[in-house]
Amino acid sequence: MSEENFESMLEESLKNIHTGDVVEGTVISVTPTEIAVNINYKSDGIVTRSEYSNDNTLDLTTAVKPGDSIEVKVLKLNDGDGQVVLSHRRIAQDRISAVLEEAYNNQTVLKAKVSEVVKGGLVAIVDEVPVFIPASLASDTYTKNLAVYADQEIEFVMSEFNPKKRRYIGDCKSVIKERKEAMKAEALGRIQEGDVVEGTVKNVTSFGAFVDIGGIDGLLHISEMSWGRVEFPQNVFKKGDTVKVIVKEVKGDKIALSAKFDENNPWLNAETKYPVGEVVKGKVARMTEFGAFVQLEEGVDALLHVSQISRAHIEKPSDVLHIGDEIEAKIVDVNVEEHKISLSIKELLAPEPEEAADEAATEEEAASSEE
């Protein structure tokens, strides 16, 4: 066989390939960063690490070995050194683009792991296609530190699909909001006034706490946190706490909650525990211009009026009492319905000599007038 015939037969046996073709090749050799591939062409092809995977730390020797079959896409017929530039990654990208396009058109929810947290958002890889989720679309609430999403699986819909510009934008916010609305509707159809439910504290404010009771938030007002007086809700609850509450009122999508259970109501047997004439001990809890409120037990505060602190004239309670003082006083009035108890220290004090003489004279005059 002549040399010309041999070359002619060799040329015929080799593939006639073009840029953009997808061909099957065989791995000839592999290094951590590059794969040499026989594609049955007059020149061998090269797949770099960046054209094999989006993982720029991948050691290619762990991914393929000589003799393996590999599907590649022709990017360039000559790289300047006579070799064909190939890509394995872009085949997956082309295929998944069709999946992303369908998901974009139908607003199908996709799942993927966050591969990278970048300035302004997150990157999630759907097979080999990077989808960018802007920070504003990562959640339905503001997240200061996006690093919390690193390596987390997220769900999103495609809000933008532009393969020509390789612009793939995802939206987690819409998915989260839609699911929350569905959970809220389900919860509203299930929850009834009077129900006792368990919830999780989501946020604490100066006026109360917002509690997630299974798909919907309810307000546990400061006045409903305890039978006792609560000054600062933050001292009672913190975000993440599990609480048992009563559904006090449902008005539209607004739910009022209470942690004041009847069995813990300290006023239920107050008349028995605190009869008029009983001498009790308590601690000064707070003061006003007209008197001091004395805590007899958790949830039961009694008023010690300024006029009942002493037999001597007192301008204001703070002149003689301080918050935290323990005092002994006599119960002079009880009103269970209004949750009111009145105390008197004055009733326990013996009158001063002059005051006693005046009282005796008054009594004598009264007796004479009756005669």
| CA dihedral sign of residues 321, 327, 330, 333 | positive
Specify the higher pLDDT residue, 367 or 124: 124
What pLDDT does residue 353 have?
Answer: 59
Residues across the chain: 371
189-222 pLDDT, tens per residue?
A: 889 999 999 999 999 999 999 999 988 999 999 9
Taking the C-alpha atoms of residue 102 and residue 96, their distance in angstroms, rounded to an integer, is 10
Q: Residue written as tokens 């309810």?
A: 218
Taking the C-alpha atoms of residue 65 and residue 31, their distance in angstroms, rounded to an integer, is 9
What pLDDT does residue 189 have?
Answer: 86
237-277 pLDDT, tens per residue?
A: 999 999 999 999 999 889 999 999 988 888 888 888 999 99
230-240 pLDDT, tens per residue?
A: 889 999 999 99
pLDDT mean over 148-155: 94
pLDDT-based confidence at 13, cuts 50/70/90? very low
Please give the single-letter amino acid code of residue 229. Answer: R
Residues 6+ apart with CB under 8 A from 341: 270, 274, 296, 300, 301, 302, 303, 331, 333, 334, 335
pLDDT mean over 43-63: 91
Mean pLDDT of the chain: 88
The answer to whether the CB of 216 falls within 8 A of the CB of 179 is no
pLDDT-based confidence at 136, cuts 50/70/90? very high
Domains of the chain plus CATH, in order, are 25-87 (2.40.50), 97-176 (2.40.50.140), 192-263 (2.40.50.140), 270-348 (2.40.50.140)
The answer to whether the CB of 48 falls within 8 A of the CB of 89 is no
